[in-house]
Every structure is written in structure tokens, then in C-alpha cells.
A and B are shown apart, each in its own frame.
Chain A
Amino acid sequence: MKKVLSYFNKITIYIKDSFRRMVSAVKTDAMYRRFVYLFVGLNVILLLSELDIMNYSTVSLYAYIIIFTIVALGLNILLGFSGLMSLGTAGFVGFGAYGVVYFETLGFPYEISSLITIVIATFIGLAVGLFSLKVEGVYLAISTLAVGEIFSQIFKRVTWFTNAYGGVHYKYPTLLGFIELDRNMTYIFLSFVMVVMMVVMYHLTKSKTGRALLAMSRSNSSAQAMGVSISKYRLFSFVVAILYATIGGILYASFYRYVQPLDWNLMLTLLILAMVVVGGMKSIFGTFLGVFIIYGIPKLYLEDLFSSVSGVAYLFSGILIIVVVMFYPYGMIHVTHDIKKLYNKYKIHKQNKLKAGDGDE
């Protein structure tokens, strides 16, 4: 009994300590503040829609953006940091969505069925990662494409798991067995998970692990000479990417409550890839921006604007992507540097003008 109490004490002290460090981190590190702003900003949208200022459906568009930000963050770790390629992302998102529904129908609570799905996905990720040790570049892309195709065939044909073309229905999640979430609460839950995943990525990439991944992607031999184990970090980045995709899938099922087999195709994978590239490799907020540009702008604005002629919206979003890639090949997030530069120029210009004015008097 005493032992249990002392463990309990230790844990509470640890939690208190971590909390204190978290608070001080938010105070000192601007990055954390931005995460908080993003969380608040996303929830303001919910508030606006509740107040009837925004459409009811806007929230579900933003939920999609949130979900695919998580998925794209995973791909960003793989592509941006480790320099590896995967074309199987959509398959894993679908697996997450189907998995959580399936295990919940078996009678497990939401958290446990999510966990089981994640564990299974981790093992599949390890298998894909092991395979990736042997192939490079384009060949890796092709083989992961095959993995994605296997998934999409499973979704169409394995009836006991996915109900084939009928799709599976689900409900909003119940947390801890008694907190039943409604649509708005699920949205808040989604945005919370996204911010947590962003913090995880921020911590990972600004640590020894992130540096090792970068070292590996830039030069294998140099990384090896520095003691970075190529096989370990390759496996690691595949597992992380697949975990992010699976979590995205679980959230997809939780929010949309319906999963159907035709969504998880190569088209979706390529869109996720475009989100990472357009938004900015290695950038967390860039990934969010990328998802917003690829998915959000066409759905939120362009389709309304060109509602009279169907299809024109897609034309414009295509042109938009080309323009973005042309002017910001390293990702749209770098537009912030240009804005800062312009602002500084403007400030200096203003100061000079003031000085010139002083001289006249």
C-alpha cells in the first residue's frame, strides 16, 4: 500500500512538474503560442457558425482540413525530413477509419479500438519500413503505391471488415465511456488532437531525432559516419507517418460517421502530397496552409464564386497550385518572409520620409 502511495506521489509530482514546464514553455517559446492561437482560431470558426454568421457546413469543411493536416504532417516527416517517398498514405487513412469502426462494433470502447487500430497500423508501418530499407527513390514510391492499392482493394472486397460498397456507419465518439460528444464537441476534439500532433512533430523535429532524420535524408554516408543508424530512423519515420495517417483516419470516421471504400485512392494520396509540397516541406504551419490552399480555398471560396459553371472551380484551384509552386517552390509558408520584408521596407521608407521632412524645416 505504501509503495503504491509513493508511486502515486511520484506521478503527481511528475505531472505537476511537467505542467509547470509546459506553462513556462508557452510563455517563452513563440511556437507554442502560435499553436494556441491556431487552436483558438479554429474554434472561433465553430462559434461563428453557431452564431449563424458562417454556414453550418463550413465547420465540416474545416474538420476535413484539420484531419488532413494531421495526415499531411505525417507525410511531411517522411518526405520533408527523412527524404523518403510514400504513395500509400490514403490507404492508411482509410485503414484508420475502418479500423476504429470495426473494433467498436466488436464491443471495444472508442479509446481502446483507436489504440488497437494504431497498434496494428504500427506493425504494418514496420513491415513497410523494413521493406523500404531495400529500395530507394522512385522504386520505393512504386512499392508504397502497391501497398495503397492493396488497401483500396481490401476496402472494396473484404465485406466483414468494410461492408464493401455499402460503407460503414459510425457515431460521434464517447470519450472515457461517459463523455458523449456531439458534432461541435467532436470538432473541438479534432482541433485539439491536431494541435497535440503539431506539438509532437515540433518536439520531434527540434531534437536529436529530427536532426538525425535530416542528416539521413541529406547524405546517408555522412549520417552513418556520425553514428546515425539508417535502418532505425527509416523505420521510425515510416511508422510515424503511418501513425499520423491512421490517427487522421480515426478522426475522419469520428467526425463524418460514414466511411465508404472509394475515397481512399491514389488521387487522395497525390492531393496529400501536393498539400505538403505546396504548403512547405519541414514546416508545421506550412502543412496547415497547404491543406487550406489545396482543399479549403476551392471548397470554401472558388466553388461559391463559380457556382454557375460547374468545374471552373477546379480549373482555378489547379492554376492556383501551379502559380504557388512557381513563385514559392519551397512552400507557400515562405510568403511570410516576403511579407515581413515588404513591411520592413515600408517602415524604412516611412522613416526616411519623416527624416527628409525634418530636414526641410
Chain B
Amino acid sequence: MSDNTNKSYVLKPGTLLDIQNLSMRFGGLTAVNNLSFDIKENEIFGLIGPNGAGKTTVFNCITQFYKDKDGIIIFNNKKNEIINLNDIHVEKIIKEGLVRTFQNVELIKDLSVIDNLLIGAHTLFKSDFIGHIFRSKRASEEETFYKAKALEILKFMKIDYLKDQYVAGQPYGILKKIGIARTLMSNPKLIILDEPAAGLNETETTELSKLMIQIKENYKCSILLVEHDMGFVMGVCDRICAINFGKFLALGTPDYIKRHPDVQEAYLGRDDE
């Protein structure tokens, strides 16, 4: 355990991420208000809420893009140490085993698909720039090793035929897939997906839900996702947390969430009669 830190945190066994009393304010606006939920190991967890409910803010808080937040975010990292993610710099988060995608994909358009995947393995490379300049034995071995790994992941996603093509000009569904493939490069324990199904058509969405479950089983990781497509969320998630205006509404199985009166109210409005 982490004895060197002055504060030690506890997690219930089987829990991967525990968010406790998270609050985030932008000036006078409280985007996230005293939110708590936990994610178990090897589960797909959905975070839902109407537009502006603060879902993406929660993501940015977990991945430390926002500082000055209240509350703690406890995570069981790659080395099985219990840590508070707030102590970690945004660029080091991926090393702990937590990786995210972006709503608008954010791939590098003028690199090939496989090179984009290799960026996901950035922190795993051990060679430094001197090794790169001289293209040392170790650096080139590493390069081949991670290329093989990237190819394996692309095969798993069934897009390996695209490996040497540029990312620019690929259809949106493929871009989303490359984004997810890139997260898998870093051997994550938790993948955070920001609207993975946005902009996809129905066949692509069904394919994506299958892929989510396959990733969970093959890579033994948890997935936290934000999504507007309710059919997709209800179909794929093990548990769902619903929020509105940054506040906790309900947490439970998809069926429980569907029937929950507060969730129905948030999405459909109150029945006045």
C-alpha cells in the first residue's frame, strides 16, 4: 500500500474508482454539486443526464483537466495502490491506468492509423530522445514491439486493413474506433469514453455495443461512458448513474434507472396533474 503518502485511502474490495463529494464551480455556476458514485472492477458504467448536466465536467475532473475542485477521487491503480487522483498531474494520469477519449475524437490527421495508436503507448516507451536520434537497438526493438501490439488491437477491432492509411478522410465511425483502439494501447484499468456513439448510425451503434462488451472481457478493464443514445446505454451498461444540474439523481441497473421517477422527470419534465 502507499505508505509514503501522508494520507492513506481505502477502497472496498472489487471497487476500482470511488468518487466522493465531488464539486466543481466555474465562477458562480456549480457544474457538479456534491456528486458521489463508484465504479466496480470489470463493469461498464454509464453516466447519463440531460444536456448541460455536467457529465463532461465530471470526466474532466476525474482526468484532472480541471483543478480546484472539491472532493476526492480514489482509484486503484495499475500497481494495485490506492491513490487519490487529485494528487496526480493530468499528464501522468494515463500511467495510473486511466485513459480517456474525447467527444470530437482528437486524432492526429496527418499520421497513419497505426502511428496514432502508438501515441497511446507513449508512456510505455522507455527509450529517450538520444536513443531515437541514434535509433538505438533498444529504441527500434521497442518500436517493433509496440507496432505488433497496435496491429493486434487493430485486428481485434477489425480495422487492421486500414493500418497504413492516413486518419484524415476516414469515416466518423472508423475515427471513433481508432480513438478507442488508441486507449487500449496503454493497458488501461479504466477507459473513459466521452459520447462514443455520437454521430454513429444504427448498425455502427450495435457494433459498438458488442465491441464494448468484448473489450471488457478481453482486456479485463472497466469502462465509464457518457452517452445520449439511451438505447445504447441501457443495452450495454451494467450500472448507470443519472445526474441533472450536477446533482446526483439515481444509481442502479438500467431497469431501475428507467423506472426511477426523478430520472423520468429530468428527461421528460414533471407531470403537473
Determine the chain B residues whose CB is within 8 A of the CB of A218 once the complex forms: 106, 108-109
DSSP majority for the B interface? Answer: helix
- Bound CA span A21–B135, Å: 10
- Bound CA span A287–B92, Å: 35
| A219 in complex: contacting residue of B93, B99, B106, B127, CB < 8 Å | B106
- Chain B interface category by residue count: 35 or more
| B132 in complex: contacting residue of A21, A203, A230, CB < 8 Å | A203
Q: Let me know if A159 is at the binding interface, CB within 8 A.
A: no
Which stretch of A108-116, A146-154, A204-212, A268-276 is in the interface? A204-212
Known: A204-B129, A209-B129, A211-B122. A225 touches B63 (CB 8 A): yes
Determine the chain B residues whose CB is within 8 A of the CB of A224 once the complex forms: 65, 90-91
Q: Let me know if A200 is at the binding interface, CB within 8 A.
A: yes
B133 touches A215 (CB 8 A): no
In the complex, chain A residues 181-220 whose Cβ is within 8 Å of any chain B Cβ: 200, 203-204, 207-212, 214-215, 218-219
Residue in A closest to B140 when the chains form the complex, CB atoms: A21
Q: Let me know if B182 is at the binding interface, CB within 8 A.
A: yes
Known: A222-B106, A227-B94, A227-B186. A211 touches B133 (CB 8 A): no
In the complex, chain B residues 92-116 whose Cβ is within 8 Å of any chain A Cβ: 92-95, 99-100, 102, 106-111, 115
| A204 in complex: contacting residue of B65, B90, B107, B132, CB < 8 Å | B132
In the complex, chain B residues 206-241 whose Cβ is within 8 Å of any chain A Cβ: none
Determine the chain A residues whose CB is within 8 A of the CB of B107 once the complex forms: 222
Q: Let me know if B30 is at the binding interface, CB within 8 A.
A: no
How many inter-chain contacts with C-beta < 8 Å in the A-B complex? 87
Nearest-Cβ distance from residue B42 to partner chain A, whole angstroms: 23
Q: How many positions in chain A have a CB within 8 Å of any CB in the partner chain?
A: 29
Nearest-Cβ distance from residue A284 to partner chain B, whole angstroms: 14
Residue in A closest to B121 when the chains form the complex, CB atoms: A208
In the complex, chain B residues 140-157 whose Cβ is within 8 Å of any chain A Cβ: 143
- Bound CA span A223–B107, Å: 9
Q: Let me know if A228 is at the binding interface, CB within 8 A.
A: yes
Q: Let me know if B134 is at the binding interface, CB within 8 A.
A: yes
Q: Let me know if A106 is at the binding interface, CB within 8 A.
A: no
| A208 in complex: contacting residue of B99, B132, B134, CB < 8 Å | B132
A21 touches B92 (CB 8 A): no
Q: For A211, A212, A223, which residue has the most chain B Cβ atoms within 10 angstroms? A: A211
B137 touches A208 (CB 8 A): no
Q: Let me know if B249 is at the binding interface, CB within 8 A.
A: no
B132 touches A225 (CB 8 A): no
Residue in A closest to B146 when the chains form the complex, CB atoms: A208
B92 touches A227 (CB 8 A): yes
Q: Let me know if B118 is at the binding interface, CB within 8 A.
A: yes
Residue in B closest to A222 when the chains form the complex, CB atoms: B106
Nearest-Cβ distance from residue A56 to partner chain B, whole angstroms: 36
- Bound CA span A21–B138, Å: 12
Determine the chain A residues whose CB is within 8 A of the CB of B119 once the complex forms: 211-212, 215, 223, 226, 228
Residue in B closest to A212 when the chains form the complex, CB atoms: B122
Determine the chain A residues whose CB is within 8 A of the CB of B108 once the complex forms: 211, 214-215, 218
A208 touches B122 (CB 8 A): yes
- Bound CA span A324–B40, Å: 58
Determine the chain B residues whose CB is within 8 A of the CB of A222 once the complex forms: 102, 106-107
B110 touches A221 (CB 8 A): no
Known: A207-B139, A214-B110. A200 touches B186 (CB 8 A): no
Leading 5 A-B pairs by shortest Cβ distance: A222-B106, A207-B132, A227-B123, A227-B94, A208-B125
Which B residues contact A (CB, under 8 angstroms)?
63, 65, 90-95, 99-100, 102, 106-111, 115, 118-120, 122-123, 125, 127, 129, 132-135, 137, 139, 143, 182, 186
Can you spell out 22 A-B residue pairs with CB atoms less than 8 angstroms apart?
A25-B135, A203-B135, A204-B132, A204-B133, A207-B127, A211-B115, A211-B119, A211-B122, A219-B106, A221-B65, A221-B102, A222-B107, A224-B65, A225-B102, A226-B122, A226-B186, A227-B91, A227-B93, A227-B122, A228-B122, A230-B91, A236-B129
